[in-house]
Amino acid sequence: LIGDREAPKFHIIRLLATPSRELLKPVGRDLVARGRLSDEDDIFFLTLPEARRAAGGEDLRELVAARRATYDRERARRRIPRLLLSDGTDAEAALVSVGEGLRGSPASPGVISGSARVIRSPAGARLEPGEILVAPSTDPGWTPLFLTAGALVMEMGGMMSHGAVVAREYGIPAVVGVAGATDQITTGQRVTVDGSAGTVVLEVGPKEEAQPDLAPATKGASPQPEPRANLADG
């Protein structure tokens, strides 16, 4: 029954917001025809007083473009910030680094080191036993991957999110709310997950590892003859 808490809000939006959008679309089309907006949907990026100003002849295309840019930036967020600074900066993302690692919220106790595997969708995904699952978020569709995961690192969520709860059920360490984890951790990179401290320490990744010294492979090969002097030169 807990899910029914959202029902009133859903019905209010369905009954009021949808008809309102249909009423405003013709206004948007008219403002596009008059060169005041670039797209009919731009009307939804204006307040009613601003829409009246546009109807009165004011060009608000630059204002809408700035708001669309903000809208697109916010939609690209992979986690909901718990604390925003006055300029819109995610405070946790700004402080995410801890030494040579990342910081999040402790969700399931334990410490484990292993190879990371970044997975953005559970569809067709495979996880080798002991690998560290790094994901944006999880839901019940991800549960089979927990059977072999050594630990969980998740960009979204808190103590009661799906990934955190399942990690505790399976007894694997988990750190959640790690901003940018899927971008800063690469598949194959060794990481140490501390589910009690809420930290993820990054070791040298596959692309950063030193190239192997190939010199030993030449041992035992026939030595190359010393260059012989050309007697004609003497």
- Topology given in CATH for the domain delimited by 92-202: Glucose Oxidase; domain 1 (3.50.30)
pTM greater than 0.85: no
Burial class (CB in 10 A: 0-12, 13-18, 19+), 87: exposed
User: Residues 92, 161, 162, 174: which is the catalytic one?
Assistant: 162
Q: DSSP letters along 148-197, please?
A: T-SEEEESS--TTSHHHHHHHHHT--EEE--TTHHHHS-TT-EEEEETTT
- 53 Cβ contact partners less than 8 Å away, ≥ 6 residues apart: 60
**pLDDT per residue of the chain (234 residues) written in tens, 0 to 9:** 555 666 777 777 777 777 778 888 899 999 999 989 999 999 999 998 999 999 998 999 999 999 999 999 888 776 666 666 677 666 565 555 555 689 888 999 999 999 999 999 999 899 999 999 999 999 999 999 999 999 999 998 888 999 999 999 999 999 998 888 998 999 999 999 999 999 999 986 444 443 443 334 444 444 444 444 444 444
Domain spans in the chain, listed from the N-terminal domain onward = 2-75, 92-202
Task: Specify the 3-state DSSP secondary structure of 210.
Answer: coil
Q: Give the orientation angle of helix 18-33 with respect to helix 48-55, to 10 degrees.
A: 30
CA 76 to chain CA centroid, Å, is 8
Question: How do 190-194 and 199-202 pair as beta strands?
Answer: antiparallel
- Say if CB 188 and CB 206 are below 8 A apart: yes
Q: Which two tokens stand for residue 105?
A: 């919220």
- Using CA atoms, how far apart are residues 182 and 142, in angstroms rounded to an integer? 16
**Is 11 one of the catalytic residues?**
no
Half-sphere exposure of 205 (CA within 13 A, CB side): 14
- What was the pLDDT predicted at 71? 92
- Say if CB 225 and CB 218 are below 8 A apart: no
Question: How do 132-135 and 151-154 pair as beta strands?
Answer: parallel
